[in-house]
Amino acid sequence: MNLSDKRLFLFDIDGTLAVGDELLPGARELLAEIERRGGTSLFITNNSTRSRSHYVKRFVEVFGLQTEERQFVTASYVTARTLCDRYGTQTIYAQGTQSFVEELRSFGLRIETELVDDPVCIVVGYDGELTYDKLCSTAELLQRTDVPFYGTNPDLRCPAPFGFIPDCGAICGMLTATTGKEPVYLGKPAARMAELCLEETGYNREQTLVVGDRLYTDIACGLAAGIDTCLLLTGEAGLDDLKTTRFQPDLVLDDPAALLAAL
């Protein structure tokens, strides 16, 4: 792999470019250098709690970085695109944050968050507003119906300043343990997220690099899409994990500063 050939960089955000409200070392300079060289940075995140417009605002207010909505390909965006293609305006039951629900509805989807008789499918996202009542309603629908069950992303945990907190995969795990129903995940590691980036930018696979901190989502997504990958040791995965995983990255570096130096 020749990094000088790369023009499209698909960055995970949490644990790769930033943790909480702090950019990781070299992240700002790396993004600036890619832009200076005429390249494109897109941000592919399995965080389904926030809309793309929220990320644009957050990048300016928290990180001081100017971005555009088109640069963010979120799990909620991929989920909305998939549900639109498959179900149109039929009734869908969703469990997630209010922001996640509003993002789905912005695509014209008919979303219900209370118990309904006949949803065409059930979709669950990361939910920082999770209540036991929500879990019980979703568990009831999963047992009362036989409709498709989707999760936005399989991540078990996401970084926090003090360590980690439960992510969508952990929430879905509770529902699976209760109901026996397994979700189909729509975000990373499914290839669709990376493929959407190629479709929307016009770059090919050889010009693209997926950069992330998780082997089973970020690196697996790149592998599934046939795109070169770079693991940064800034989040969940460590060197010991490389000894046992089947998701082997093409490149392993310490942090964004190390990737900048390697360009």
For residue 5, indicate whether it is catalytic: no
**Rounded distance between C-alpha atoms, residue 167 and residue 170, angstroms:** 6
Given a contact cutoff of 8 angstroms between Cβ atoms, the answer to whether 124 and 183 are in contact is yes
Which residue is catalytic, options 5, 14, 127, 218? 14
Sign of dihedral through CA atoms 56, 187, 226, 215?
positive
Q: How many residues does the chain have?
A: 263
For residue 127, indicate whether it is catalytic: no
Residue 117, marked binder:
no
Task: Name residues whose C-beta falls within 8 Å of residue 223's C-beta, 6 or more positions apart in sequence.
Answer: 189, 229, 247
Closest by Cα among 217, 255, 155, 196 to 8: 196
Which residue is catalytic, options 5, 12, 21, 241? 12
Residue 188, marked binder:
yes
Residue 14, marked binder:
yes
Give bridge partners of residue 93 from the DSSP assignment.
Answer: 112, 122
- Residue in the block written with tokens 């929220």: 54
**Rounded distance between C-alpha atoms, residue 220 and residue 203, angstroms:** 20
Residue 57, marked binder:
no
Given a contact cutoff of 8 angstroms between Cβ atoms, the answer to whether 118 and 88 are in contact is no
Binding residues for substrate, by number, are 188
Binding residues, by number, are 12, 14, 188, 213
Binding residues for Mg(2+), by number, are 12, 14, 213
List the catalytic residues. Answer: 12, 14
